[in-house]
Amino acid sequence: MMKNKPDEEDYWNSSKFKAFTFDDEDDEFSRLKESKQAVNSIRSLVEEEDDEDEVEKVSWSGEPVGSISWSVRETAASNQKTQREHAFPKINASSPSVSRSHSGYSLSSLFKGDDWSPEETIHRMQQGKVVSLERFRSLQDKLLLLDFSVRAHDGNIITAVILFTLTSIIRVLFRELESRQTALRHFIHYLTEIRDHRLLLELLSKRRDFLKSCLNLPFSPEESAHVQDHYTLLERQIIIEATDRLAEHAGKVEIFQKFPRRASILNMPLITTLYYCCFYHYNEPEGTYSSPLNIRHTFRISEKQYFVTVLAARAKLKAWSDLDALFTSRNWLGFTKKKSPLSFHRVVDILQKNSAPTQVLQEYVGLVDDADLRIGLAQKHKCHDIVINTYRDLKDRQLLLGYRGKVERGSAEERKINDLLDSPVRKRRNYDHHHHYQHVT
């Protein structure tokens, strides 16, 4: 049945386990057919062996049908056929010998006559022709072969030469590869791909300088410090996770009831862990493992990083008073001032993304140093007071008039603007916009 186009597309897009069938055959029928085929397959496999060889024109060995090499293979295959007929169905026993006959690089027994030079051999391998690598038995020959493969810039062949001629002399291989970087990198990539960690480690244990450039493993002391930190973090996470899971199950701690944990904290990055602790354990004394302050000190977290994380976590909980305390610092005279290692316009941005109320936004917008940026933010977040006060300070009637159109009719803001517009021109006051937010406690 021809399916129409949309159906085909649908098919390709889905990756369901169940397969698409062209013919909706009856289940029973197909099962019957299946068992029949299973029975027949033993015979057909044997019989079709010849046919397949004959039509397999685009193959590794690439020999045209009817050529000498083809007929040699033909004979070999028919010999094996007789062997296999006895062996069937014990396919395990016979398959290695069968495989030999197809393998382009282990046919030496059939091609004793060829005496290609190393260079020619590499060339023939590139063309997918049959070669015999077992002929190259001396180390010098093997290395010559390797060097020619590197010169041919063909990674497929480089790996093949290492694999088929050199792994038999693995100790020597390590030594010889040191001076052959390209080949070494192919070998390492191959080991990575087949996931042979034993050999990789052996290579690694040599810890030679040149290896550092091609192995993706950290070596420097600075990097081991990161790994050490990670270990400490994991220990922490295990303790915190165990305690919190209990607390959550017991149902006695309010925050876990209100904001159930979405995932385990295990294996999370440090900052995610800090965020988690700012969220669930913010007010704990510094002595506990889960106290944000403790984490900050243990892992030498920068002030800015710490502020950003606390800000994000407490804003998420809408704990605005915590933020107030976070940003407030007191000088020696007892005056307090809002300070932040993060620029205040960034703070506003984070607050706004956590849908902070205008009242809160207003406070932080007011702390933005740059006047243009401040006005822009104030307008964006509808912090009318700031806009109005700034225009008042600029003594710009036009701007005030314009802004009156933007505030709600009959609101306190509109009245404020009207008052300002009505009041007689005042002398410019020396008005420091920072001063406005400083309060004495």
Between residue 118 and residue 137, which ones bind other proteins under the rule CB under 8 A?
A: 125-128
Cα 10 to Cα 13, 23, 304, 367, 369: the distances in Å are 5, 17, 50, 56, 57
Q: Which helix (H) or strand (E) holds 358?
A: helix 358-365
Cα gap 280→354, rounded to integer Å: 17
Q: Which is nearer to other proteins, 347 or 400 (CB)?
A: 347
Find the shortest distance in angstroms from Cβ 345 to other proteins: 10
User: Residue 440 is inside which H or E element, if any?
Assistant: strand 439-440
CA separation for the pair 328, 324 (Å, rounded): 6
**List 105, 279, 280, 344, residue binding other proteins (CB under 8 A):** 105
* Pick 158 or 360: Cβ nearer other proteins: 158
Q: Would you say 190 or 282 has its CB closer to other proteins?
A: 190
Minimum CB separation of residue 19 from other proteins in Å reads: 4
DSSP 334: S
Contact 303, 268 (CB under 8 A): no
User: CA torsion sign, 10 to 15 to 17 to 20?
Assistant: positive
Strands in 439-440's sheet, in edge-to-edge order, are: 328-330, 335-338, 439-440
Comparison of 361 and 400: residue with beta carbon closer to other proteins: 361
For residue 329, the SS3 value is: strand
Residues in 394-433 that interact with other proteins by CB under 8 A: none
Site for other proteins in 215-274 (CB under 8 A): 216-218, 222-223, 226-227, 229-230, 233, 268-272
List the Cα angle 419/422/428 in 5-degree steps: 90
The single-letter DSSP state of residue 342 is S
In whole angstroms, give the CA distance from residue 148 to residue 30.
Answer: 54
The footprint of other proteins on this chain (CB under 8 A) covers a number of residues equal to 99
227 Cβ contact list (under 8 Å, min separation 6): 218
Kindly tell me which of 194 and 401 has the beta carbon lying closer to other proteins: 194
Q: How far is the CB of 76 from other proteins (least distance, A)?
A: 11
Neighbouring-strand partners of residue 338: 328
Rank residues 124 and 433 by Cβ distance to other proteins and give the closer one. 124
Give the three-state DSSP class for 330. strand
List the interface residues with other proteins, window 142-201 (CB under 8 A): 152-160, 163-164, 179-182, 185-186, 188-190, 192-194
Are residues 91 and 73 in contact, defined by beta-carbon separation less than 8 angstroms?
no
Q: Site residues for other proteins, window 15-34 (CB under 8 A)?
A: 15, 17, 19-22, 30, 34
- In the complex, the smallest distance separating the C-beta of residue 346 from other proteins, rounded to whole angstroms, is 6
Is the Cβ of residue 134 or residue 154 nearer to other proteins in the bound state? 154
- Residue window 46-65: x/- pattern of binding to other proteins, with contact defined by CB under 8 A: --x--xx--xx-xxx-----
CB nearer to other proteins: give 380 or 406: 380
Stretch that binds other proteins, among 38-46, 68-76, 319-327, 411-419 (CB under 8 A): 38-46
Q: Closest CB to other proteins among 19 and 250? A: 19
Binding to other proteins, residues 294-313 (CB under 8 A): 299, 301-302, 304-305, 308-309, 312
Token pair, residue 318, equals 């809408």
Q: Three-state SS for 328?
A: strand
102 binds other proteins, rule: CB under 8 A: yes
